Structure 1
Amino acid sequence: MDLPEDHATVLHRLRSSISADERFIGLAAGGSLLAGTVDWYSDLDLLVVVDSAHHAAVMNARQQLARAWGKLLVAFTGEHVGEPRLLICLYDDPILHVDLKFVTLDELKHRIEDPAVLWERGSAVSAVINRTQAETATLDAQWIEDRFWV
């Protein structure tokens, strides 16, 4: 995977931290990383797959986890875009926007794209992706309009 240096640095740090924590069973990428179009202006769109036994605790500790994974400048959840599982992060050193969506294996069944698996404990993440199908999100013009002017 050919990535800009800053993206590669942050991705390596996140993958190392997440894989060392037994509460997590996978890390996958979507967006421009999946499409192979990452450039210096791209963010990282990541799915952090959480063992369902630890999901509630991880969701409550997302900000602390993100802070432990790098020099976090700011982070906020994604309710404003209809995605409460999302933590939108801005890291420094290097400076990079990273979207972390925390999902269980069961939640991974319902997705808008087939993410690239970057790391997994065993093969459960790949198995879910291979046996289920992504469903393209339907465009809701009113939803976009409601958020555009804000």
Structure 2
Amino acid sequence: MPITLTIPEGLLDPQAQSQAFAELTDALLEVAELTGNSFMTANVVGSLNVLPRHHVFAGGKPAPAAFVELKLPEIALATPEAKRAFIEAATDIVEKAAGGRLRRDHIWTNIVYAAEGAWGIAGQAYAGSDLVAAVQQSAAQHFA
């Protein structure tokens, strides 16, 4: 489940970048109620885009801003409450990591869904039911 964090250079030092990404991962797993599930944990992946300051915009002008994008299969975070919980957690995480160098209203988060059957892991296309089965199998192995 890729997370993309895009920020301007200088906003977060390397340690804060790593910490923020780890916290975004944990927030996703917590909101999805999958903390400790080895299948899901291994498949929360992502990237950090650190752009030159003059390449990040708000209101059409260069500005300190951060963008969090989460890509998921259609079955994940399907409820409005789950979406709100992740967006709130992501905003809190990035705001804290920026240590006062970023206004809260300059943090945007969006959630994008892949079409049914269009989620690929290790070359295998997963439908929603396939992902649920993999998560359940991982949970069963954990508690066995």
For the criterion TM > 0.5, the same-fold answer is no
* Higher normalized contact order (CA 8 Å, seq sep 6+, divided by chain length): 2
Q: Which has the larger radius of gyration?
A: 2
- TM-score after normalising by structure 2: 0.36
Structure with the bigger percentage of helix? 2
